[in-house]
Each structure stands twice: as structure tokens, then as C-alpha cells.
A and B are shown apart, each in its own frame.
Chain A
């Protein structure tokens, strides 16, 4: 409801801006929509872009359930990519049935480790997890840069910062003749697992209780500290898988340009979606669609790339503001 209104409002603001620049606003929005969802190809592109956002976002959402603020998905994504790449560089001759699981494990370890640090510091030393996970983002990205500029640089890349191209065994393939890759299936499996976990498992229930009130959790003797560590490591592993898919399925090598802020987008998505897997998927698609659609808008109307940022920002701020009016609808009359 609110999301709908927010979309309309941000579209209106964008239309105004376009009109101001003497661009036909209405056609522009149609082009934007066509570019994002208007054809099978567009949907495919959107889905490909949405998968890493979705996985990171799922990871962030698990922690948010417990009211733990993991804003380190960006760094966990980087560490996942680094972990997967490490396996490829160490064992390039392994067959796919060994290599791919090993890459997934390494990615989960990398991302999970990156999630473990803020979790441990939080439960042991009461260090603020928002801050530690944010700091780790910088460290992990710089570490990735160090690796691709230094020891992992491909000797035949003309000195450009990138690793060698992965052997075919290390590449997650496409589904049939489409451009979608099996990463989509991984993402869906994670989503189903997430849903079942929170719907049916005891631990999932405990998480929800703890998230709603740590004090109640204390009375019920729920292992709050253990849960914090568990959600942060799980979240890190999911973001790590997103990093693994990005290097293995879409880029086929590690290079710094994989860091495009999916980890931050994921926070926005997790929050927009109110933490349920189906709506996380929808919100990931929406934001991916906005970014893909803006490219189409650039191509057809030469609207600057920065335009997408404005739309996204207005959209989010409207949703944030709108949430208030939903929660406090009773008071609405009092304001006017």
C-alpha cells in the first residue's frame, strides 16, 4: 500500500524533473518500465541483477529478525567472492563436481567469518555491531583490491586488476538456453529454507521472540548470544554466496568492479520488504528493475545516469515517511 504510494510519488517527482529538462516525462516512464519489466529479456536481466541483491538481503534479514544490525553485507559479499576465487586459483584442475561445492563452502566460510567478527565482538565485548560490520566493509574491499592488484593479478591481463578467467569447471552454468544461471535456483532454495525455518522450526520461533524482546528471551532462558552468532554467520554466508555467484556465474573472474554496493542495497531491500522472503524477492526485483530501467531511459532519451539515484532516494524516503502514517493512522486527522 505504502510502497505503491511511494512508487507513484517518486515517479511523479521524476516526471517533474524530466519535464523540467524538456524530456517527454510520460514516454520516459514508459521506457523506464519497458526497460525493466517490459519484455522477457528485460525480466531476465532484472532477475540476474536481483539474485545477488536478494541473497545479501536474505542474509541481512535473518539478523534483523533478531534486531541485530548487520550492515556488513558488502564486506561479506567481497569475502565470499575472495573465498570462491581462492579455491579456483588453488585447484584450477579440479572437476566441476568437486570445485563448485568447494567454492561454495569457501565463499560461505569467507562471508561467515566476516559476519562472525562483529557477532563475537558484540556478545563478548558489547561492541556495536553496526559500527564493526561497517568498518569491516572497508577492510574487506581494500583486501580484495590488494589481492587483484597484487598477488592474484592475471599475468596476461595487461596489468589490469583482475584474476585469470576461471576454468569452465568453476563456472555456474546457465539454465537451459536462457541467460539465467543456476544461482537463481540456489537463491530460491535459500528463500524456501528461510521460510520453513521461521515458520516451523523451534529455533526460528526463538529468534523471533528474542528479536521482539531480549528481556523475554532472558526469562525464557533462550541462548541470545548463541543466536546472535548464528544469525550473523548465516547472514555472512548468504552474502558470501552472492559474491560467489557474481564471480563464478556472471563475471567468470574476480575484479574490483564486482563491488557495486549490493550489500548496501540489500539493507534497503530487507527493510522495504519487512523481512519476509517473498517480499524480499519482490523488493529486490523492484530495485534491480529500477537500475536496469534507467539504462534503457539513458539509451532512448539520453537522461543522465544520476537520474536513477534520485528516483531511488525519493522512493525510499517516501516509504520511510509513509510507514509512519500507516502505523499512526489514528493520528492522521490530528495532523491536518
Chain B
């Protein structure tokens, strides 16, 4: 199966966070709960698909496509 990232998720889709493509993922994102095993749901994508508005295990945040494409997930 092809690996998905948050950037590949459509609006309304849910997934489980698996790992990060590089170590250099911002610590702030991790502190906000974006860690392995937590679920992520795409709530909305801004015009031009970027940024992406997420619900990560109860925390609501928005990130840019650039970072979203570094977070590997498994679709539910």
C-alpha cells in the first residue's frame, strides 16, 4: 500500500499518525499532540488546498501543506 501523508487526506477523512518523514518536524506540532498513534481528521482545507485545518485527537489546529506532507498516516 502506498504511504499516505496528512496532505493526501480529503476533507472529512480520518487517519492514524504513523511516523514522520524527517526528524525536523517542528517540536511545537508534536507538543500540540501530533504524535504517533493519535488520530487526525481533516476538517477543512483553505482555498488552494493550503493550509489544512485538522483535529488531532481533540486539538484543533491548522498547518501548511508543506509540513502536512511530512506526517505519514494510515487512513481509517
- Asked if A pairs with B, the answer is no
Using a CB–CB cutoff of 8 Å, the interface residues on chain A facing chain B are: none
Using a CB–CB cutoff of 8 Å, the interface residues on chain B facing chain A are: none
